Amino acid sequence: MGRRGRLIAIEGRSAAGKTTLVRAAASELGWQPLMEAFDRLDPAPSLEYGSPRELLLLEGTLLSEEARRYREARGLCAQGRTVLADTGFLGPLFYTHGLVTLGRAPASVGRAVERSTRSLVRRGALGLPDLTVYLETTARERARHARADATHHPAILVGRHEAVGAVEQRYFEELFPMALPDRFRSLRARSGPPGPVLTLRALVAEADPAPASKTEGLALVSLLRLSTRDGRRTNVGPNR
């Protein structure tokens, strides 16, 4: 039997440096990079929306691309490759639930995206990475990265991404360790020795997780729904 490939996802707030880390690690370690869904779409959709229907169409487009990149990633893993994904595959679900928690989207949109996600996970068309590594950064670092790459981080969306990112960070720091303790690690994005690439390699070697199961994916989706409901009740996160 050949060597089993692994699927690693780098998560973090917008402008945290995920893409930079993925590219550097892929180059230095010989891993296969997998860019985020939005960057794979041509033409790229607008991330602005004027109605719940437009938001639902946007998230549906991104979710379809997530299923394609998940299938591609698992195919590479079957060949024995270590795949490093720029964000995991439940991004549309997480982001939409963040908007709902902040009162920036109706709960009906969140439920619709959740149903679509759950259906894909149940069919095995979408799933979790074997390991999620959350890239920790400061607000100052993210602001600097966003200013340096205004094409990928337009100023008009920075505030929204930061607000939703605060909610998503809670999901990662609370839900993932609780539901998937062997599949989650944090990484501080500091430069200098040993550097984030070498630290990432050590984290992956230490974890060495088996492939994530469909059951784990469905369980995480359910926990996210409960967390979002409680977050709305207690007004978690900024609502501006």
Tokens standing for residue 222:
């359910």
Q: Name the pTM for this structure.
A: 0.91
Chain segment 34-65, per-residue pLDDT in tens: 999 999 999 999 999 999 999 999 999 999 99
Please check whether residue 239 lies inside any domain of the structure: no
What CATH code is carried by the domain that includes residue 97? Answer: 3.40.50.300
Please check whether residue 222 lies inside any domain of the structure: yes
Of residues 229 and 223, more confidently modeled: 223
Please check whether residue 121 lies inside any domain of the structure: yes
Q: Burial of 8 by CB count in 10 Å (0-12 exposed, 13-18 middle, 19+ buried)?
A: buried
Please check whether residue 2 lies inside any domain of the structure: no
The domain tally of the chain equals 1
Query: Which residues touch 165 (CB under 8 Å, ≥6 apart)?
Result: 13, 14, 98
Chain segment 69-104, per-residue pLDDT in tens: 999 999 999 999 999 999 999 999 999 999 999 999
Chain segment 229-239, per-residue pLDDT in tens: 665 544 433 33
Residue 27 β-bridge partners: none
> What is the side-by-side order of every strand in the sheet holding 7-11?
32-34, 83-86, 7-11, 131-136, 184-188
Please check whether residue 33 lies inside any domain of the structure: yes
**Predicted pLDDT of residue 2:** 52
Please check whether residue 240 lies inside any domain of the structure: no
C-alpha 237: how far from its chain's center?
A: 19
CB 7 within 8 A of CB 83: yes
Range of the domain at 145: 7-234
Three-state SS sequence of 206-228: HHCCCCCCHHHHHHHHHHHHHHH
Between 214-234 and 155-170, two packed helices, what is the crossing angle to 10 degrees? 110
Residue 128 in this model has a pLDDT that exceeds 50: yes
Please check whether residue 1 lies inside any domain of the structure: no
Please check whether residue 213 lies inside any domain of the structure: yes
Tokens standing for residue 32:
């296969």
